[in-house]
Amino acid sequence: MPFFYDILPGFALRQHVRVYRFLNFSFTDTAPVKAYPPRPEITLAFYPRDPEQVTYANGKPLPSVKSAIIGQQSVVSQRQVGQEFLLIQVVFQPGGFYRLTGIPSFHLTNQYLDAEAVLGAELGRLNEQLANISHYPAMIPAVENYLMSLLIKSTYQLRPIDKLGLVMLENPAGYTLDKLAKEACLSAKQLERNFNERMGINPKYFARIIRFDKAFRMKNAYPDKDWLSIALDCGYYDYQHLVRDYKEFTGATPTAFYLQDTQSPERKFGIVEV
């Protein structure tokens, strides 16, 4: 039975983790390739069963891993899952991964990294534990226990800038750079440097990815809605403004990328990203 759903983290982790995402699909034949677009998030992904194969624009497949740190993306990656695909994905709050680990997020931008190589033996033990759990709900406390161990070790204190990413997720068009800097009690240069450290990209680029992601999901939710209406509802000036972002982030027009997304593997099970 396929499943795809999100679970809120425990209260202690909610400042760092937005949601846990669970996917489980079984394919009798080779699964179709999914064009995975940019979205405003850094994630930690676990593959307790078959791994996924990830390829970027150079066409060279990356090594398969048991768990991956997926930095903030601004490009499309091509992903193909195995026949028994089970994914547990930790979607961090903006800046949450940095606050838990101390790893500057600009080192992760457009990267898909072996999490065990970056985070060490403790995460390797979690990979083994997840591989030996047959009932997937029991995987949730195992992942939470690992994240709590990171939280206990972290010496990071929340600062005003840590709230900005959350605010921008709600209203990316409502803030100028000067307003963001003022709210973070920083100069414009300090804001950009600190934002890059936490999110992996600058505030303006982050806002563009949020807006693009909103348009992508709105079209999935309302397939019959025309692109001009979607563009205006998502804060674009006009349709051509939307087209420029689509071409930069996906290399395709809105219609072409939407049609490509309709061939994604989860669509075989009636699941649509909205």
Average pLDDT over residues 92-98: 97
Q: How confident is the model at residue 1 (pLDDT cuts 50, 70, 90)?
A: low
Note the pLDDT of residue 152.
Answer: 97
Annotation: CATH topology of 3-153: Jelly Rolls (2.60.120)
pLDDT of 167 over the 80 cut? yes
Which SS3 state, helix, strand or coil, does residue 162 take?
helix
Mean pLDDT value across the chain: 94
Following CA atoms 172, 178, 183, 187 in sequence, which dihedral angle do they give, to the nearest 10 degrees? 130
Which SS3 state, helix, strand or coil, does residue 160 take?
helix
Note the pLDDT of residue 2.
Answer: 73
Q: How confident is the model at residue 4 (pLDDT cuts 50, 70, 90)?
A: confident
Q: What is the pTM of this model?
A: 0.96
Which SS3 state, helix, strand or coil, does residue 165 take?
helix
Nearest-CA neighbor of 24 among 152, 182, 137, 172? Answer: 137
pLDDT of 255 over the 90 cut? yes
Q: What confidence tens digit (pLDDT) does each residue in 52-85 have?
A: 999 998 888 999 999 999 999 999 999 999 889 9
The DSSP-derived string for 94-149 is TTHHHHHH---GGGTTT-EEEHHHHH-HHHHHHHHHHHT--SGGGHHHHHHHHHHH
